[in-house]
Amino acid sequence: MSTYTRRELMVACAAAQIADGEVVFVGMRLPLLAFATAVLTHAPDATGFFENGVVRDTPPDGMVVTMSDTPNLAGALASGRMGMVMNPLAAGRVAAGFLGGAQIDRFGNLNTTFVRPDVRLPGSGGACDIASAARRLLVIMPHQPRRFVSKVDHLTSPGYGDGAGWRCRVGLPPLESVTVITTRAIMRRTEHSDGFSLLSVHPGESADAVLADTGWEWVDSAPETTAEPAPEVLAAIRRLDPTGFWTSDS
């Protein structure tokens, strides 16, 4: 049995959601590692858009803390104005957008603005734009009861609003799905489903335990056990994060 951290497993699961040839709007930290891992393993022709105007189709050549670090700029296809990546996003050309959040609710809405009564958070950045225009969403976040709530305290980045038809009513394009990869499980919902389906639980977890720490009920879930990362996937993750700066569980 391979030894890996929960965060390495999250990165491996997120990387598996990226198909070869797709354009992906990439966030920092674990999403960046997931994109780079996908390129190194099964999706060599995927292209990553970054909020600072960087476009690249290769992994960064070195440790990256922010998307503007030199390793993320060197060898990029382009490094220009923000509009270089936001315009194609608005035009519907981005297959998947990576997001995270302090809270997520049963409709796939995310909160990164504030948590009642008085916790202030960084806000949207480009997250609202990504959630509004990407064709599907990939969300990476720790699985804790305080994060998985029936209704977010503030809707920063929209999933399906208040249910089927909401995106159309407010003028947003369709959203194929919201897939959430956590430290304990993988779940997904679509607009016309009644809620999230639990796709898999990570090794050592149970569906009942995951449900107990989630603020909603599952829909028709018969979860599998999440596959352990393949050796080549773990090798790619550790090449990208050799000291475990982003992927250590400590």
pLDDT digits over 86-99, tens only?
999 999 999 999 99
Instruction: Tell me the mean pLDDT in the region 181-203.
Output: 95
Rounded Cα gap, residues 199 and 162, in angstroms = 23
Phi and psi (nearest 5°) for 5?
Answer: -90, 165
Instruction: Give burial (CB, 10 Å; 0-12/13-18/19+) of 101.
Output: buried
* Alpha carbon 150 to its chain's center: 20
DSSP string, 210-222: HHHTSSS--SS--
Which one, of 140, 187, 124, 157, lies nearest residue 37 by Cα? Answer: 140
pLDDT band at 1 (very low <50, low <70, confident <90, very high): very low
According to the model, what pLDDT value does residue 64 have?
84
Q: Helices 6-16 and 30-40, interaxial angle, to 10°? A: 60
According to the model, what pLDDT value does residue 57 have?
95
Answer yes or no: 22 catalytic.
Answer: no
Rounded Cα gap, residues 196 and 189, in angstroms = 4
For residue 55, pLDDT over 60 is answered with: yes
For residue 138, pLDDT over 90 is answered with: yes
Cis amide bond preceding 203, omega within 30: no
Average pLDDT of every residue of the chain? 94
Number of H helices, E strands in the chain: 8, 14
Name residues whose C-beta falls within 8 Å of residue 200's C-beta, 6 or more positions apart in sequence.
185, 186, 223, 224, 225, 226, 227
Name residues whose C-beta falls within 8 Å of residue 190's C-beta, 6 or more positions apart in sequence.
176, 177, 178
According to the model, what pLDDT value does residue 125 have?
87
pLDDT band at 29 (very low <50, low <70, confident <90, very high): confident
Residue found by looking up tokens 């050592």 in the block:
204
pLDDT band at 159 (very low <50, low <70, confident <90, very high): very high
**Tokens in use for 173?**
């394009």
According to the model, what pLDDT value does residue 2 have?
62
Rounded Cα gap, residues 105 and 124, in angstroms = 16
Q: Are 117 and 52 in contact (CB under 8 A)?
A: no
Q: Which of 22, 51, 191, 205 is catalytic?
A: 51
